[in-house]
Amino acid sequence: MSNAIGLHLRLDTSFSAAVEKALRVQQPILQCFFMQQKLKTPLRLSPHEIKTFVREYRSLFSQFFLHGSYLINLSGVQPRHPVLMRELTLAKRLFFYPHDSASRICQGLGH
């Protein structure tokens, strides 16, 4: 992979707002959290919102990366952390890849 600059986005209001912000500044790589920062709540997308993103926006970016929530504590005692599993499930539906630092962990969880 070549060195490229991507925009690291927080979800201040919504997922679609973050995508629109990346488009406005013409970023080819989208990396974002799946946690709404101000509300400290997980991102919830309806099946319609997921289809819309995949159909209308996916082709406008070259790569997509999920930046795992800071609520994920992989050193904890839970072998399958619920926040991590929720985020990986959504990432799979949106065709996002886990951020590089999480890749080996995700492989071990079957994602």
Read off φ and ψ for residue 60, nearest 5 degrees.
Answer: -85, -5
50 vs 65 pLDDT, higher one: 50
Q: What is the pLDDT of residues 23-54, one digit of tens each?
A: 898 888 888 878 777 777 788 888 998 999 99
- 81 or 32, higher pLDDT: 32
Task: Give the separation between CA 60 and CA 21, rounded to whole angstroms.
Answer: 13
Query: What is the Cβ-side half-sphere exposure of residue 72, based on CA atoms within 13 angstroms?
Result: 22
In the chain, what are the domains?
A: 7-108 (3.20.20.150)
Residue type, 90: L
Residue 61 backbone phi and psi in degrees, to 5: -125, 150
The tokens 């999920």 sit on which residue? 66
- Give the model's confidence band at 103: pLDDT under 50 very low, under 70 low, under 90 confident, else very high: very low
Reduced to 3 states (helix: H, G, I; strand: E, B; else coil), residue 35 is strand
* Strands annotated E in 12-71: 29-36, 41-42, 63-67
Provide the pLDDT confidence category of residue 87 given band limits of 50, 70 and 90. confident
Q: What span, in angstroms and rounded, lies between the C-alpha atoms of 32 and 18?
A: 8
The confidence score (pLDDT) of residue 51 equals 92
